[in-house]
Amino acid sequence: MTVREWRLLVTESTDGATNMAIDEVLWRGRQAGTSPPTVRFFGWDPPTVSLGYGQPLDDSVDVAACRRLGVGLVRRPTGGSAIYHDGPERELTYSVLADGTDLGGAGDLLETYRWIAVALLRGLRGLGAAAEIVAVPEAEGPTPAFCFARTGRYEIEIGGKKVVGSAQRRQGTCFLQHGAVILGVDEPRLRAVFPTTRDPLATMTTLEAALGHRPKFEEVAVALERAFEEEHGLTLRPGGLSPEETARVAALVAEKYGTEAWLAGTA
């Protein structure tokens, strides 16, 4: 049976280690039944490159350039490839933390991707973007180091270019899915942090390019909140972390996401 009342958590600007710790705590809490299903919208301060769970930290990301530009580095608990997350003026990141039963039985990877994608699509179209879901992508071959270099199943494009990049991690039917919704782009910085990606803008686009203006973080968050509710019949209740969740986040930052061993992939 679908759980109709979910938590809505909005944290506009948080550092990378804290962002990833929050999502893991909510995911683990959902597995244990101590946290409700949650939709979260968040930003990054400072701007941060996030690596996929199993992605090597190699020369595809210029660590020296990140340090020079004040860009953070973090490894996600979800898979996929690296993303440059700009501040909330240029990106909104979402996460969905739930069990398949919360979705009415949409249990496997592709079903949950699609469940989330149709809500994202509704929200982006509500903003005026001519967005489309890519059910069967054309490109194959080795996974690129830069997430927006290739569109995956049930990701979203505008005009044949990717505007939302997503990745998921599962244990049983309980999952955490992340995704970056690109509002605008700092092209020089993007090229600096991904030096081996020949032309990062060849395969990605932004809502600014699609709409002729850059929507604000708050505007996109409201549109997506409404879309999840209308598409899936949910009620999203604004809320924060419990004291227990807050304590677990702090511990995970100190013991995991803020450590060099986790970033290097050796933890």
Give catalytic residues, as residue numbers: 147
Residue 118 CA to residue 229 CA, distance in Å, equals: 12
Cα–Cα dist 223/14, whole Å? 21
My answer on whether omega of the bond before 142 falls inside 30° of 0, hence cis, is: no
Name the phi and psi angles at 93, rounded to 5.
Answer: -105, 140
Tokens of 83: 């993303």
| Run of H or E residues at 66 | helix 63-69
Q: Which amino acid is at 23?
A: D
Residue 135: CB atoms within 10 A of its CB come to: 12
Q: Name the residue among 190, 192, 61, 202 with its Cα closest to residue 139.
A: 202
Mind giving me the DSSP string for 179-214? EEEES---HHHHHHH-TT-S-GGGSB--HHHHHSS-
Residue closest to 6 by CA, chosen among 46, 44, 45, 35: 35
Q: Please say whether the dihedral angle defined by the alpha carbons of residues 49, 22, 112 and 92, taken in this order, is positive or negative.
A: negative
Instruction: Retrieve residue 58's tokens.
Output: 């190699």
